[in-house]
Amino acid sequence: MEKKVITIIAAMILVILLVNIVSADFWGCFNKGEKIDFCNPKVNDRTAPSDGYSVCFKDYNETRECYNQGTLSKCNRAGGCSYLGGNSTLDANPPELVVNSPAQDGLYTSRSVLIDLGLDERSDIYYYDNIYGRNRWTRICNDCNAGDPAYSRKRSFKEGFNNLTFRAVDVVGNEVNFTRTFVVDSRVPRIHRTQPRSGYASGVFEVQYTEDNLKVATLFYGNEDTGMREVNLTGCESGSKEWCDVDVDLSDYNNQKIEYYFILEDIAGNIKKSQMRRNLKVDTVFPVLNNPDSFWSQGAGRYSRYIYFEFNVSEENLDEISYTYLDSRNRTRERRLCSRLRNGICETKKSFRKGEHDLGIMIIDKAGNAIGDSIEFVVDY
């Protein structure tokens, strides 16, 4: 009986020893910078971040020069740590950094832009703002795990054009850089004012706006009889409180009333419509000066300082007749001569100082149609 018990115990010890021999999982130890390649393609290779870095292995495949993963419980039972000598190499290659987002030359309608990055090994990731960066790198994540994505979160960026450089640095200092440029346009165009505001229209329409990435400005005009016509404005600049105008032919609307509005669109597709301006009477006829050779005369002698004006004008909607001149500081000044006609006539006189005078004459109607002339004289009293 005792022999049977001893035989059974010996057999159990043999089984335990055989199990330990079959289950030869072990801790492999590496020094900082040594590269660890796994046979399983689903397991990311890595680089030892420090001396004494340990990984649980089942065995080393000498043919493929890679490691098969072990089981932690078996490695823990094995205990200890084996430095693998010739089975490891120093990592001299930079990490592989994949910038999935932002896309090169991408357009984003929100200031919150997704940063999505892929890595093939554990690394620190930074970005440098080449426009607004203030000479410093911004850390995205520390010891990012390998993967795709290794990092995927949104960050806020400036409106307009952005230029970023991304950097990944592995545990031994190997680094790689990538640059991305993209545009953020989250703001709807802003319209400050439009002209004409009320009264009359001659065909010249203006819009003042703020938009950093203007794509197109369009004028819509017309009435119930013709419907709304449209025309794209040319030469409109992006910027703050910019003015842009267009001159359209309204001759077939003369003496009729029209309405108009502008629509502005930016490169991100944001659209802004201006206030509708209604009941504008169209006047496309320019004033006519019927006496261009005799509308002024100068007094004689001590009255030479007086200039006598008599304008014979054909215009139903006169705004004013005025003159301009340069003052002693070489600045342009304007003075009104008259704002109404009596039977087509404007009569007035003005007194001038001693010296030479060069006046610009302007006759303008309420729609903005204008004609000009000039006169020169000397006051020598």
51 contacts 33 by C-beta, under 8 angstroms: no
306 contacts 333 by C-beta, under 8 angstroms: no
- Ranges 4-8, 189-193, 257-261: which has the least confidence: 4-8
* Average pLDDT in the chain: 89
Both 274 and 310 in one domain: the answer is no
Q: Give CA separation, 8 vs 12, 106, 135, 179, 360, in Å.
A: 6, 75, 76, 71, 127
- Ranges 41-55, 287-301, 315-329: which has the least confidence: 41-55
Both 312 and 346 in one domain: the answer is yes
* pLDDT, average across residues 351-361: 95
pLDDT higher at 13 or 165: 165
Question: 264: which residues sit within 8 A by CB, 6+ positions away?
Answer: 189, 191, 207, 209, 211, 214, 216, 217, 218, 271, 272, 274
49 contacts 102 by C-beta, under 8 angstroms: no
Element (H, E) at 16: helix 2-22
Both 313 and 355 in one domain: the answer is yes
Both 68 and 53 in one domain: the answer is yes
Query: What is the CATH classification number for the domain harbouring 144?
Result: 2.60.40.10
- The pTM (predicted TM-score) of the whole model is 0.62
Which amino acid does the sequence have at 318? L
Both 85 and 106 in one domain: the answer is no
Three-state secondary structure readout of 123-141: EEEEEEECCCCCCCCEEEE
Report how far residue 331's alpha carbon sits from residue 17's, in angstroms, rounded to the nearest whole number. 108
Helices (H), 58-115: 72-78
Report how far residue 52's alpha carbon sits from residue 47's, in angstroms, rounded to the nearest whole number. 12
Q: Token pair for residue 257?
A: 């009333």
pLDDT digits (tens, 9 = 90+) for 164-187: 999 999 877 889 999 999 999 999
Reply yes or no on whether the pLDDT at 381 is more than 90. Answer: no
**Structural domains of the chain, count:** 4
- DSSP for residue 48: -
Q: What is the pLDDT of residue 9?
A: 39
Both 202 and 178 in one domain: the answer is no
187 contacts 111 by C-beta, under 8 angstroms: no
Instruction: Name the residue range of residue 8's domain.
Output: 2-90
377 contacts 307 by C-beta, under 8 angstroms: yes
List the beta bridge partners of residue 161.
Answer: 183
pLDDT band at 90 (very low <50, low <70, confident <90, very high): low
Residue with the two structure tokens 């006189």:
349
Both 267 and 216 in one domain: the answer is yes
Q: What is the pLDDT of residue 333?
A: 95
Reply yes or no on whether the pLDDT at 154 is more than 50. Answer: yes
Both 312 and 340 in one domain: the answer is yes
Both 214 and 149 in one domain: the answer is no
% of the chain at pLDDT higher than 70 = 91
pLDDT digits (tens, 9 = 90+) for 192-225: 999 999 899 999 999 999 999 999 999 999 999 9
Q: Which of 126, 156, 184 is the last residue of a domain?
A: 184
Both 200 and 226 in one domain: the answer is yes
pLDDT band at 88 (very low <50, low <70, confident <90, very high): low
Report how far residue 378's alpha carbon sits from residue 318's, in angstroms, rounded to the nearest whole number. 30
pLDDT digits (tens, 9 = 90+) for 303-354: 999 999 999 999 999 999 999 999 889 999 999 999 999 999 999 999 999 9
Q: Which of 184, 208, 231 is the last residue of a domain?
A: 184
pLDDT digits (tens, 9 = 90+) for 233-270: 999 999 999 999 999 999 999 999 999 999 999 999 99
pLDDT digits (tens, 9 = 90+) for 104-124: 999 999 999 999 999 998 899
Query: Which of 277, 264, 273 has its CA nearest to residue 221?
Result: 277
Element (H, E) at 12: helix 2-22
Question: 357: which residues sit within 8 A by CB, 6+ positions away?
Answer: 325, 376, 377, 378, 379
Both 68 and 39 in one domain: the answer is yes
How far out from the chain centre does Cα 266 lie?
A: 10
Q: Which of 230, 249, 282 is the last residue of a domain?
A: 282
Report how far residue 358's alpha carbon sits from residue 362's, in angstroms, rounded to the nearest whole number. 13
Both 150 and 118 in one domain: the answer is yes
Give one word for 355, left, alpha or beta, with left for phi > 0 and alpha for psi -120 to 50: left
Q: What is the pLDDT of residue 98?
A: 95
